[in-house]
Structure 1
Amino acid sequence: MIRAAVAPLAFNCVTVTVVRDGSAILLSEFGQKPINVGDVILLAANTLCGGEPEEQMTVTTICADTDYVIDQVFWQHVGQLQDRLDAQDFAATIYTEPAQILRLGEDRASALEPWLDELVALSTEHRPVENFHRLQALWFSITHVIAPLIRTSEMRLSSTQRATTWPAVPRIRRFSPLRREARRGAELLRVNTARHWSVGDLAAELHLSKSQVSRLFVDAYGKSPIAYLTMLRTERMARLIRTTDDPISMIAREVGWSDPDFAARQFRRSIGVTPRKYRSMINDHAAQMVG
C-alpha cells in the first residue's frame, strides 16, 4: 500500500505493476499520466518512474530479469531468430516504448488477483527449486492477459521512443534501485565502447574514486566496469558480424579491441564460439531461410 509520493527510481529489470486499488499520477521520464485501479504499468529496464497517490493506492509489482525476458522473446519468435543476441536486437526494434500504461480494466485486473497473490506468496517462501514450475505457470498466466495490450511497432514513431533492452546482466542479483551514477556510467560505456577505458577514466567522468566506481557497478550490474565494457563490446561485435561483411579484424578494432586474437578470445568466452564460427553459423542460417 502506497500513501506518500514515490520519488522517481530506475531498476535494471523489467517491472510490471498492477494497480489493485486507488489512483495516482505517474511521473516518468516521458511525462505525467493518471493511473487508476485496473491499470498495468510496464517499465523497461533503466526507466525512471515515480508517482503521487491520491490518498492511497495498492499495487503489486513483478520484477523480471532482462535476460529472462529476452529468452522468452527468443523462444516466442524462434522460427525467425538466429540466437539470443538476435532476439535482443529484435526486441529493441519492436518494443520501443519504455514506459507504457496498459488499460486492462477493473474486471480483467481483478481476475489477475488470485495469481498475483499466489505469486507473491511463493516468492516470499524463498524455495525457487520447489516452486519453480508453479511460479512460471503463474507468470505466463498473467502475461497471457496483458501481452495483447503492449504496444509494439516496426519502427520508432516518436522522439520519446527508444530501445527498451539493455545488455545482458547476471541472472542472480538484487532488484534494487539504480543509483544515478550507475546509470550514467553504463551509458558512457555503451555510447563509446571503442574508447580505451580504464576504471580511472570512468571514475573521473563520474567524479568518484576508482573503488567507489567498482563497487557501484558490482552492486548495480553484478560485474566490474571493465567486465561490463567487455560485455558491451562482445554484443556490439556480434551485431556487426551479423549485419555487415566487414573483416572480423576491422570489427574488433571498431568495438575497441586492437588485438584481433584477444578479441576472438573474449568473444568465444562470452558467446561460446569464435567470431569466424559465429559468422559461419549466421550465413548457414540465412541460407536455410532463403531455401
Structure 2
Amino acid sequence: MDYLLDQLTWRLNGLLLDRHEAEAIAAKAFRDNMWATSLGSDVAAEMGRLLDRVEQVQSEGGGFYDIEATFASLLSLLVPLLPYENISKGPVRSLADEGEGGRFPPLRREIVSVGQAVQSELSRRWTLTDLAGIAHLSARQLGRAFRESYGLPPMSYVAMLRAKEMARLLRDEPDCSVEAVGRMVGWRGRSHAREKFTALLGIGPDEYRRRARGLDLATPGPDTAETAAEGS
C-alpha cells in the first residue's frame, strides 16, 4: 500500500497537497471496492509470469529495483482494467475535494450503505430483497447499480466480502477450523465454505492457510481431519 500511495503521489505531482492527501483519495475512491473483470488468456498468463517473478526475486533476496520493475510491468497490465476516469485537463486545486475533477468515479451513496450493512453483519443470510431494501431500490435497479460500481451482481459482491474476511480469519485465527471460520462469515457448513472459498480464490482454504503461514503444502494443519466427508 505504501508503494502504491507513493506512485499515486508521484503521478499526481502538483495536484496534491501532500502524500496524506493521496491516502485520502485512495480511501475515498476505492473504499472496500472490488471490480470483477475477465482476463484474456494472454494477459492472465503474463500476469501470472510477473507475479511468479516477484515471488522468486523476494525468495532469493533480490534487489528492490528488480522487484519494482517487475511490479511496474504488472501494474501496466492491471491499470487499463480499472474503472477510473482520466484527470481533467482543467485547473484542479485539490483532487481530495468532494467536487468535480477527481480521478475516480464516486460510488453511489446507496451502494455504499449496502456495503456497510453487509460488512457489519457478514454472517447474516442476506437476500437480494434485503439489499434492495437497504438501498431503497428495486432488485433490478440495485443489480444495475452494483454492476456499474463493482462489475458484478449484489450477491456476488456479498460472496466476495465473505471470501475476503474468511481469508483474513484463516490467517489470523490458526486454531479455528474451516467450518467455524466459514460460519463466522455466513457460509453454511464445511463443504459450503470450502466450495465458495475455492471458487472465488482459486485455492482451497486449507492450502491457503498453509501458504499464508509459510508451511509446506504437505504439513498437517488443524483442519486435516476435515478433508473427510462431512458428517464423518
TM-score (norm 2): 0.54
- 1:208 matched residue in structure 2: 137
Q: Which has the higher contact order (CA 8 A, sep 6+)?
A: 1
Give the equivalent residue in structure 1 for 2:90.
Answer: none
Residue of structure 2 equivalent to 1:248: 178
| 8 Å CA contact 2:128, 2:154 repeated in 1 | yes
* Contact 1:182–1:216, Cα closer than 8 Å, also in 2: yes
User: SS where residue 14 of structure 2 aligns?
Assistant: strand
> Which structure has greater strand proportion?
1
CA distance in 1, matches of 2:215, 2:145: 40
User: Structure 1: which 5+ runs fail to align?
Assistant: 1-12, 21-25, 27-34, 49-64, 81-132, 141-169, 287-291
- CA distance in 2 between partners of 1:18 and 1:197 (Å): 43
Deviation at 1:173, TM superposition (A): 4.5
1:217 maps to which residue? 146
Distance 2:167 2:25 in 1: 23
Corresponding position: 1:182 with 2:111: yes
Cα offset, 1:79, TM superposition: 5.2
- Report the equivalent of 2:125: 196
Task: Return the alpha-carbon distance in structure 2 between the equivalents of residues 207 and 172 of structure 1.
Answer: 30
Which residue pairs with 1:172 in the alignment? Answer: 81
The answer as to whether partners of 1:46 and 1:183 remain within 8 angstroms in 2 is: no
| Residue 276 of structure 1: how far off its partner (Å) | 1.5
Aligned equivalent of 2:13, options 12, 18, 28: 18
Offset at 1:284?
Answer: 3.9
- Residue identity in the other structure for 1:204: G
User: Cα 1:246–1:171, aligned 2, differ >3 Å: closer, same or farther?
Assistant: farther
Query: Which of 210, 215, 226 is the matching residue for 2:155?
Result: 226
Tell me how far 1:239 sits from its aligned partner.
Answer: 0.9
Distance (Å, rounded) in 1 between the aligned partners of 2:126 and 2:136 = 15
- Structure 1 residue 47: Cα displacement: 1.6
2:13 alignment partner, SS class: strand
Q: Deviations over 1:54-112 (max 9, x none)?
A: xxxxxxxxxxx9xx9xx99xx69x859xxxxxxxxxxxxxxxxxxxxxxxxxxxxxxxx
- What count of residue pairs does the alignment treat as equivalent? 153
Deviation at 1:223, TM superposition (A): 0.8
Give 3-state SS (helix, strand or coil) of 1:18's partner: coil
Higher helix share: 2
Give the aligned partner of residue 65 of structure 2.
none
Deviation at 1:206, TM superposition (A): 1.5
Work out whether residues 178 and 193 of structure 2, in 8 Å CA contact, stay in contact via their aligned partners in 1: no
1:221-242 Cα deviation digits (max 9, x unpaired): 1111111111111111111111
Deviation, structure 1 residue 248: 0.9
List gaps (5 residues or longer) in structure 2.
Answer: 30-34, 36-46, 60-68, 85-104, 217-232
Alpha-carbon RMSD across the aligned residues, in angstroms, is: 3.8
Moved >4 Å (runs of 4+): 13-16
CA contact (8 A) 1:173 1:222 kept: no
Check conservation: 2:113, 2:134, Cα contact below 8 A.
Answer: no
SS, match of residue 208 in structure 1 = coil
Contact (CA 8 Å) 1:218, 1:224: kept in 2 or not? yes
Give, in whole Å, the separation in 1 of the partners of 2:25 and 2:116: 15
Query: Matches of 2:214 and 2:83 in 1, distance apart?
Result: 39
Q: Percent identity?
A: 28
Give the distance between the partners of 2:164 and 2:197, measured in 1 at CA: 9
State the 1:45 CA deviation. Answer: 3.7
